[in-house]
Structure 1
Amino acid sequence: MRVSGLVPARFLTLIAHLIIVIVIFWSKDENVKMCLPESYTQAQYDFKDTQLIIGLSVTLGLFAVELIGFIGGITMFMPFQSLLSTCAHGGAAVALSYFLFDAWPCDWYWYIFGFCSAFPGLTEIITIIGVLAFKKGY
């Protein structure tokens, strides 16, 4: 099978998105504070902090699924999945960079998560099931 430019681009955008998510984990305090009113209680802070930690953790879980499918060779050479993943993770890397450096409100993370992590993760799961269970794609 011929390796196209999508394979390295997909790998690079996946890794870029992964690194930015890890950096957000380390410096999430400022984004959590952007979700809160000027005077907030510790309970409000803890709730928003937990909410962001859950979102980032689910994102990391979806990364695991995508990396297993990609590095395992199951979806590496599937053009639709590669293009979708490259576009979604490239967009996520840009959006999350703004999220991190401009201290966007943490509620905005869920939009980025839905379009740029959950959607490609779901299509990856469907593709892996299709390939392994039904032998489609080979």
Structure 2
Amino acid sequence: MSAISSLIPARFLTIIAHLVIVITIFWTRENNVKACLPLEFTQEQYNSEDSKLVVALSVTLALFAIELVGFFSGVSMFNSSQGLLSTGGHASGTVALLFFLFERWECAIYWWILAFCSVLPAFVEILLLIAIFGLKKKPL
């Protein structure tokens, strides 16, 4: 099995692992929001942190949708550069979010994980989608 053909299942598995962790954080959001707050907090503080985390998780899910569309459409499935970037980003995101979940990190750290591990691969995926579908020459 060549390196490029083994990158495809690795990329798929790391994307799915990252997605499962994000969904798990969505389900256990209450515990993560409480970890972001001081010991004594008001309902207003809780609602504010909860809405910030919901927005961050929703953005992450939207970026997953973009990346999975590009992957399953074949635009980036065989692109080794995007495959390596995506595999590295999502593997790092999976490990970082496991620490976020189990060590109860502050919610502000989630935005950094989102920026480096989800936005970067999705941005390159968007560029590839635009290059393939958007800049395609129309027949005369």
Assess same fold via TM > 0.5: yes
- How many residue pairs match? The answer is 135
Give structure 2 stretches of 5+ with no counterpart: none
Give structure 1 stretches of 5+ with no counterpart: none
Between 1:101-110 and 1:18-27, the stretch displaced more is 101-110
- Residues 84-103 of structure 1: pairs in structure 2 closer than 5 A: 84-103=85-104
Give the whole-Å Cα distance in 2 for the aligned partners of 1:45 and 1:24.
Answer: 16
Residue equivalent to 2:27: 26
Give the whole-Å Cα distance in 2 for the aligned partners of 1:101 and 1:131.
Answer: 40
Residue equivalent to 2:116: 115
TM-score of the pair, normalised by structure 2? 0.92
Q: Deviations over 1:15-74 (max 9, x none)?
A: 000000000000011211121111111000000000000000010000000000001111
Give the whole-Å Cα distance in 2 for the aligned partners of 1:81 and 1:128.
Answer: 12
Give the whole-Å Cα distance in 2 for the aligned partners of 1:128 and 1:87.
Answer: 20
Give the whole-Å Cα distance in 2 for the aligned partners of 1:127 and 1:97.
Answer: 29
Shift of 1:79: 0.8
SS at match of 2:74: coil
Residue equivalent to 1:43: 44
The runs of 4+ residues in structure 1 deviating greater than 6 Å are: none
Q: Which has the larger radius of gyration?
A: 2
Residue equivalent to 1:73: 74
Percent of paired sites with the same residue: 52
Give the whole-Å Cα distance in 1 for the aligned partners of 2:109 and 2:60.
Answer: 14
Matched to 2:112, the amino acid is Y
Q: Is residue 106 of structure 1 aligned with residue 107 of structure 2?
A: yes
Give the whole-Å Cα distance in 2 for the aligned partners of 1:126 and 1:43.
Answer: 40
TM-score of the pair, normalised by structure 1? 0.93
